[in-house]
Amino acid sequence: MNQLASLSSLAQKDIRHHLHPYTDARLHEQQGPLVIERGAGIYVYDDQGNEYIEAMSGLWSVALGFNNQRLIQAAERQLRSLPFYHLFSHKAHAPSIELAEKLIEMAPVPMSKVFFTNSGSEANDTVIKLIWYRNNALGLNQKKKFISRLNGYHGITLASASLTGLPANQRGFDVPLPGFVHVGCPHHYRHALPGETEEQFAGRLADELEQTILREGPETVAAFYAEPLMGAGGVIVPPRGYWERVQAVCRKHDVLVVVDEVICGFGRTGQMFGSQTFAIEPDVMVLSKQLSSSYQPIAALLINDSIYQPIADQSHSFGALGHGFTGGGHPVATAVALENLRIIEEQHLVEQAALMGQRLHAGLAGFSDHPLVGEVRGCGLIGAVELVADKASKAPFEAVGRLGRYLAGRTQQYGMINRNMGDALAFCPPLIVQAAEIDMILERFARALDDTE
């Protein structure tokens, strides 16, 4: 009670009225929120005036930092000219048309059409529905199952949570729904057999995928669904050869490849798209987060002609496509996203992210010798450090996540916001981060790790 009395009145109101996502409700009643009031560059400030480096870019998303004036002006201009219009029933507006054109131009493989949603989860649900619709149109009435990976993250709506392979998103929620199947997580450090090379591990995972398709029946499997590198599942970089092998399996069995680039897209992996970094040729790409630097909620899915044409043909039987969101392709969100992409290109932020990523990874590698550090991993401007109970055997801690939470709490005390995924701590700073700021991130992490035992 005393602890509550020391909280600001805003924090107390929060406890009274808010149910927070991804938050332990009972713990929240006791400790209240960290109220963030404003942001500038890679920093955010709480309502007590404390400064934090946002080493997670918010939720892996604020590529341009927290006070980009051009994005603010783009939003204001659009709000003044057309604050809302929709895309239903043959309506359109300039920002959504231009953003669709831009995304098709940027796509690393030929894509046919863009569909806009408000969130990554909605985008993934939309992909599932459009693939079902397409397969119905083609008379492939059995071909409806989706295969995704354990530890993969695709969101939390009913269907996207069914794709997601994390226990926390399924416990207590009655998902996955039927028709969603999971295969192994491509984490060499954790799941390779003793002595298995990355290539051998990749081959074993591709075999597992093929066996799963054969067991389910290729005529029942619609698509394989994956992030280029896993983000929320722990920043897992796939082993060498993985994508080449799994794509070959998918093509052999006429299984579509859907790539969820919600975290990887727009520079995070050191190239514009994770699909380029890992040589993926997707049939569908899902984009969000850094698409607008999260200044506005928006996601997009890009589908190729093999998906678009049968869907369009269905209009002969069904007329209008019975799917769409009020806010999908919102004019303010699409105007901000367009400006965001212009800035990323003009300021060469993808190249900058690759450079800063090298500095981050060189620095993180320096922690490999620490007795608690099991693995340092990552790619481009995204990384993670995983703590283990025993370095030699890689044994995790008995209470998984306790130390990770402690470490994230310590970095916060030292003025940096990170996210722990189990006992791994993630790093995903804004693309605008400078060399001196990377050094500060490393220095704050070192202090927090020193306190951890």
Count of all residues that appear for the chain in the document: 453
CA distance 299 to 329: 8
Only one of the segments 79-87, 118-126, 136-144, 388-396 lies at the binding site for ligand PLP (rule: CB under 6 A); that segment is 118-126
Asked if 282 is part of the footprint of ligand PLP (rule: CB under 6 A), the reply reads no
Per-residue binding string, ligand PLP, 221-240, x by CB under 6 A, is ------x---xx--------
Q: Which of 347, 343, 361 lies closest to 428, judged by CA?
A: 361
Kindly state the number of chain residues that form the binding site for ligand PLP, as judged by CB under 6 A: 15
Please identify which residue in 210, 260, 283, 423 interacts with ligand PLP, judged by CB under 6 A: 260
Asked if 120 is part of the footprint of ligand PLP (rule: CB under 6 A), the reply reads yes
**Smallest distance, Å, CB 123 to ligand PLP?**
7
78 or 124: CB nearest ligand PLP = 124
Please identify which residue in 87, 99, 258, 262 interacts with ligand PLP, judged by CB under 6 A: 262
Asked if 277 is part of the footprint of ligand PLP (rule: CB under 6 A), the reply reads no
Asked if 121 is part of the footprint of ligand PLP (rule: CB under 6 A), the reply reads yes
Only one of the segments 260-268, 276-284, 418-426, 434-442 lies at the binding site for ligand PLP (rule: CB under 6 A); that segment is 260-268
Residue written as token pair 């794709």: 163
| Cis amide prior to 176 (ω within 30 degrees) | yes
Summarize the chain as % helix, strand, coil (round to 5).
45, 15, 40
Asked if 162 is part of the footprint of ligand PLP (rule: CB under 6 A), the reply reads no
Only one of the segments 87-95, 119-127, 349-357, 391-399 lies at the binding site for ligand PLP (rule: CB under 6 A); that segment is 119-127
Angle, helices 69-81 vs 331-346, to 10°: value is 150
Helix extents (H) in 32-93? 57-60, 69-81
Q: Phi/psi class of residue 440: alpha, beta or left (left: φ > 0; alpha: ψ in -120 to 50)?
A: alpha
Per-residue binding string, ligand PLP, 175-214, x by CB under 6 A, is ----------------------------------------
Asked if 263 is part of the footprint of ligand PLP (rule: CB under 6 A), the reply reads yes
Only one of the segments 132-140, 149-157, 174-182, 353-361 lies at the binding site for ligand PLP (rule: CB under 6 A); that segment is 149-157
- Written as one string, the DSSP assignment of 131-198 is HHHHHHHTT-TT--EEEEETT----SSHHHHHH---GGGTTTTT-SPTTEEEE----HHHHSPTT--H
Question: Phi/psi of residue 168, each to 5°?
Answer: -60, -25
Question: Phi/psi of residue 383, each to 5°?
Answer: -155, 170
**Smallest distance, Å, CB 350 to ligand PLP?**
19
* Residues of span 20-79 touching ligand PLP by CB under 6 A: 59
Q: Which of 329, 335, 344 lies closest to 88, judged by CA?
A: 329
Only one of the segments 107-115, 255-263, 328-336, 383-391 lies at the binding site for ligand PLP (rule: CB under 6 A); that segment is 255-263
Only one of the segments 73-81, 89-97, 197-205, 258-266 lies at the binding site for ligand PLP (rule: CB under 6 A); that segment is 258-266
Q: Are 287 and 301 in contact (CB under 8 A)?
A: yes
**Residue, CB closest to ligand PLP:** 120
Q: Are strands 36-40 and 43-46 parallel, antiparallel or unpaired?
A: antiparallel
Which residues lie near ligand PLP (CB under 6 A)?
Answer: 59, 119-121, 124, 153-155, 227, 231-232, 260, 262-263, 288
